[in-house]
Amino acid sequence: KLRTYSDAAFEAMKSKDGLLNIVWAGRFIPLKHPEYAVRIGKALRKKGYAYRMHMLGGGELEAAVKAEVEREGLSEDFVFYGYTKPDQVRDVMEKCHIHLFTTLPRRCLEARLLISLPQMPHRCRSLVS
């Protein structure tokens, strides 16, 4: 069911706990790059930002991402939900300030494989140095 809100109602839904709440939702698979959320969390912590990274989903990389969070000392900053039904994902997204999408668009992946092709029409930056 489509949910609609006024700007004021939508703003009122955002968390007021003093943290920058970030949500990442998807399958924990290589194409989705859930490990990038850990890199971002590490950079935010290093710069002194108070944040909470909400990670929703499951998959083959879930255990590795959780282990990296633990190894980096970020456990208090991350919340893992596991598989979550779409309505529950929406509930978390509505409360967060930033939605983090780490999946590379297919056209960027194709451009990476065919680096000699012009990339500007696709608005992708080169991923190869």
Instruction: Report pLDDT digits (tens) over 12-45.
Output: 888 788 899 999 999 999 989 999 999 999 999 9
**103 membership: H or E segment, kind and range:** none
C-alpha span between 37 and 103 (Å, rounded):
11
The distance of Cα 21 from the centroid of its chain, to the nearest Å, equals 11
Nearest in space to 25 (alpha carbons), one of 110, 104, 84, 112: 84
Query: Rounded to an integer, what distance in angstroms lies between the CA atom of residue 125 and that of residue 129?
Result: 11
pLDDT higher for 31 or 59?
59
Q: What string of DSSP letters covers 68-104?
A: HHHHTT-GGGEEEEES--HHHHHHHHHH-SEE---PP
Whole-number pLDDT of residue 126:
37
Whether residue 33 contacts residue 104, with contact meaning beta carbons closer than 8 Å, is answered with yes
One-character DSSP codes across 114-125: TTTS--GGGT--
User: Would you report the helix, strand and coil content of the chain in percent, each value rounded to 5?
Assistant: 45, 15, 40
Q: What is the pLDDT of residue 129?
A: 30
125 is written with which tokens? 């930056």
Confidence of residue 73 (pLDDT cuts 50, 70, 90): very high
